Amino acid sequence: MNDFLYGEETLTAAKALAISNKTLKAKLSKKTIDKVKESATHVHRMVERGEPVYGINTGFGPLCTTSISADETKILQRNILQSHSVGVGEPINTQIAKLMLITKVHALAKGHSGVRIETLERIIWHINQDIIPVVPSQGSVGASGDLAPLSHLFLPLIGLGKVQFKGKIVATSELFQELGVRSLDLGPKEGLALINGTQFILAHSILVLDRLQNCLKQADIIGAMMLEGLQGSLSPFHEKLHLLRPFKGNQHVAGRIRTLLKGSEILEDHIDCDRVQDPYSLRCIPQVHGASRNTWLHLKELVEIELNSVTDNPIILDENNAISGGNFHGQPLAMALDYAALATSELGNISDRRIYLALEGGHGLPQLLMQDTGINSGYMILQYTSAALASENKSLCFPASADSIPTSMGQEDHVSMGSISGRKALQIVGNLEKILAIELLTAAQAFEFRRPLKSGVLLDEVHKYLRTKVTFAESDRVFADDIEIAIGIIRSGTIPQLIDGVMQEKNIAWSTPFRNEFDTL
């Protein structure tokens, strides 16, 4: 694979993740270096002319009418990093901080931010050496960029703040002294260029996309297993039915379920039963899972635009044009993240309903999925946990972007709160992973009561794999241990990988349209 070229090629969520985990190398091309140098030259000429340009030779926010002399411009840029480093709360994990660095480099490398090449190269050094700044999780309102988190992210450039290196958090000054590295003196506009932007929101969005896509794939697989366990009907997944209401997500999910259930003896066994229709949590899997997939696709499209945008302020077009606008405003992603949070929560809602359905004792299954209940509670309390998680997710679904509090003495009078949208969406995804883990255990338990009948080869392989990790429950035990194992399985993405491997080996093709859109990140 060729190296990715910052600022020149199209960055996707998948490529950003690959750069962060070092499976893809990234560098600056000569073309990009020349553009960045030219942009920095434009800024220096503006300073020399003495014309007032926001953030270059004026104060910030409500101080935008305060003139700054040419001699003071460097002090101004250093001061902005210090004064805006006001974040609080637990630090974000290093993966998010590293994604912030990667996405910021790509935005600055577009050559419209006025930073020097030395500054850009130092940020890349941090990425390549895994010397990742410590960034508090709270403090951004997501409007004039993610000011507080980005300030903390770039304090190490001037020798301040803390970094995580080789598993330890250390003071930047101490590490630089140990490594013989000198801190940078920022040039005109550089401090402002560094802290203006949406990279905190964007980094969270990348992880939401990645982890939600993993959940979407597994929700279909686990839902299909539960359909088998409850002896549900395949009719609601008929291709012609979904062509009459052709939402992409609905069609995609219905096709996946058809493929997963192909060759099922369990389905054949009850094809002529007297049940007219299934409850919604089974029958409406394409409509509910599909709606969440449509939401994921919408977020993916917006994230790709943002990944390849210039989001600081002012934007340097040429030596005579520095436009002060609002490209740093987080609203485009804030609203989409709130939408994704709702879509994620709904996957957990319907999953919890299927878990509950499996415990009722109908559809030929024993009550609480255990033969000897009374002395045993069976799977009763696992559903308590899924219900608690589903309810917690509902409480987290209030859209952060619906709120706005004026800041900066009214200069920034409408803010996006997108940083909160991103943090909440990621929290909801984490809860969904736990709910799906519980449904996986429940579906596998129900699945077993259909023996000696077999499902199709795909779901049988999934069940066989799970039984190498978690045994069938004949009596009560500490189910928290089972749940933790299942959460690990969900987060690892092992089940979709297993399915893909079996399909390749057996020459089975997905009966799904829109695969390229939904299955690529």
List active site positions. Answer: 54
Distance CA 424, CA 398 (A): 9
What are the DSSP calls for 161-175, one per residue? SEEEETTEEEEHHHH
CA distances, 21 to each of 96, 167, 202 (Å)? 11, 15, 17
Which residue in 159, 289, 166 sits closest to 222, CA to CA?
Answer: 289
Residue 442 · residue 379 · CB < 8 Å: yes
Plot region of 269 (φ>0 → left; ψ -120 to 50 → alpha; else → beta)? alpha
Q: Cβ(189)–Cβ(408) under 8 Å?
A: no
- First-to-last alpha carbon distance for the chain, in angstroms, is 17
Distances (CA, A) of 334 to 25, 98, 251, 262: 30, 21, 28, 40
516, containing H or E segment: helix 515-519
The helix or strand, by DSSP H or E, that contains position 89, with its residue range, turns out to be strand 88-91
> Angle CA(431)–CA(435)–CA(440) in degrees, nearest 5?
145
Contact predicate 355/386, CB 8 Å: yes
Strands 26-28 and 4-6: parallel
SS3 20: helix
> How do strand 132-133 and strand 162-165 relate by DSSP bridges?
antiparallel
